[in-house]
Amino acid sequence: MTGPATIGNTGIVTETTVDTPEQLHDDGLRGFASDNYSGVHPEILDALAAANGGHQPAYGADDYTARLQEVMVSHFGAGVEAFPVFNGTGANVLSLQSLLPRWGAVVCAETSHINTDENGAPERVAGIKLLQVSTSDGKLTPELIDQQAWGWGDEHRAQPLAVSITQSTELGTTYSVEEVRAIADHIHARGMSLHMDGARISNAAAYLGVPLREFTRDAGVDVLSFGGTKNGLLFGECVVVLNPEACHGLTYLRKLNMQLASKMRFLSAQLIALLNGDLWLRSATHSNTMAARLRTAVDDIEGLRATQPTQANAVFAVLPKDVANKLRQSFKFYDWDPATGEVRWMCSFDTTEEDIEAFIAALRREMSAP
């Protein structure tokens, strides 16, 4: 135990003792439950330490947030504006609020994060009606959107004025540049706006092999929730306004929705470190590669059946329940559909080849057990 620090007459601490930080977890445990389970990339920690000295103005008036605007312009082009926020739900809620009037509704896939994993935040916090569409692969098409994009002028129906797509999707699939552009052209002709939930946007870019701008701004996306936490950040996402004419009030909505960070430099410094070089792409490419390695093994194991294409860092497969429960004793992962036995395995920036091989060995062992 250490005693309290002493404070001199000047009010300055003159004597301190420092405890060694206590590690409460076993850092040898590995799993495939979520890319949120991973730690913070060392380069991000370095960026936080570099941003920590001295004083900087609060609420986004700092040098790092100003630099972040320049970094976002380098990826998405002149005229874009970045609004760092704490988390993905906040980014999605703010983005959709900026697109819609009080009577507006957003068309989304039934499996979308805004519909299934945000505890009703778009509806209860933003007051936005979600018009859901069933899809087999998590992706919307113009034809699927039209199932809910109707009723304009009908005072009894929430007005479908925006569409939200996820890149990559909750099912691990990815929209091509052409697919995003087809959706944007289709809905813009109907007076609707396009939001992209980019929680795993870096993984999508790594799979597509194209710059971020090509399947976002250039393809007709109006506002983007840019994800960082799932790609190695400590915390933080960013609303990126790609079409200023479509978005309104974000300056006020961010504060209203409790997403305005007072020490915003630490949000911005992480995003700068991620995006100013190639860290975003290196990390995403690695996690995609690990997922592809796992998928190859799944295809070779008798009795296993993959259920979705592996186009990012997720693998979906149908697994016998007893096998799943035994595997979870050593490797954490989630059921996706308990009724069918479908599970989801996620890879992260820090997933290693040894992690994959150990999991594959355990999977083979349990699948062949009598």
Q: Note the pLDDT tens digit of each residue in 243-278.
A: 999 999 999 999 999 999 999 999 999 999 999 999
Q: Can you give the pTM of this predicted structure?
A: 0.94
Contact (CB, 8 A) for 163 and 183? yes
Q: Coil, strand or helix: which one is 248?
A: coil
4 pLDDT above the threshold of 60? no
The total number of structural domains in the chain stands at 2
Q: What value does the mean pLDDT of the chain take?
A: 95
Return the percentage of the chain with pLDDT > 90, whole number.
92
Residues linked to residue 194 through DSSP beta bridges, in sequence order: 163
The pLDDT of residue 1 is 45
Mark whether 79 and 145 lie in a shared domain.
yes
Q: Coil, strand or helix: which one is 27?
A: coil
Mark whether 125 and 46 lie in a shared domain.
yes
The pLDDT of residue 370 is 74
Rounded to an integer, what distance in angstroms lies between the CA atom of residue 8 and that of residue 298?
65
Unique residue bearing structure tokens 């035994």: 326
Mark whether 338 and 204 lie in a shared domain.
no
Per the structure, the complete domain to which residue 337 belongs is given by 279-368
pLDDT tens digit sequence for 114-125: 999 999 999 999
pLDDT tens digit sequence for 15-45: 566 678 899 998 888 899 999 999 999 999 9
Output the six-digit token pair for 112. Answer: 């979308």
Residues linked to residue 223 through DSSP beta bridges, in sequence order: 195, 241
Within-domain flag for 136: yes
When pLDDT is averaged across residues 325-348 and rounded to a whole number, the result is 96
When pLDDT is averaged across residues 196-225 and rounded to a whole number, the result is 98
Mark whether 303 and 362 lie in a shared domain.
yes
When pLDDT is averaged across residues 153-161 and rounded to a whole number, the result is 97
Last residue of a domain, one of 275, 304, 328: 275
Choose between 345 and 303: higher pLDDT. Answer: 345
Kind and range of the H or E run holding 321: helix 321-327
Choose between 19 and 129: higher pLDDT. Answer: 129
When pLDDT is averaged across residues 51-72 and rounded to a whole number, the result is 98
Output the six-digit token pair for 31. Answer: 């799993």
- Would you give the DSSP letter of residue 4? P
The pLDDT of residue 323 is 94
6 pLDDT above the threshold of 80? no
Mark whether 236 and 305 lie in a shared domain.
no
Within-domain flag for 9: no
Within-domain flag for 27: no
58 pLDDT above the threshold of 90? yes
Within-domain flag for 8: no
Last residue of a domain, one of 256, 275, 294: 275
- Please give the single-letter amino acid code of residue 246: A
Contact (CB, 8 A) for 235 and 268? no
Q: Which of 360, 363, 339 is nearest to 351 (CA)?
A: 360
Q: Which of 353, 89, 348, 72 is nearest to 231 (CA)?
A: 348
Q: Predicted confidence band at 7 (pLDDT cuts at 50, 70, 90)?
A: low
Rounded to an integer, what distance in angstroms lies between the CA atom of residue 369 and that of residue 323?
9
User: Within 13 Å and on the Cβ side, how many CA atoms surround 113?
Assistant: 23
338 pLDDT above the threshold of 70? yes
Mark whether 82 and 190 lie in a shared domain.
yes
Last residue of a domain, one of 243, 275, 307: 275
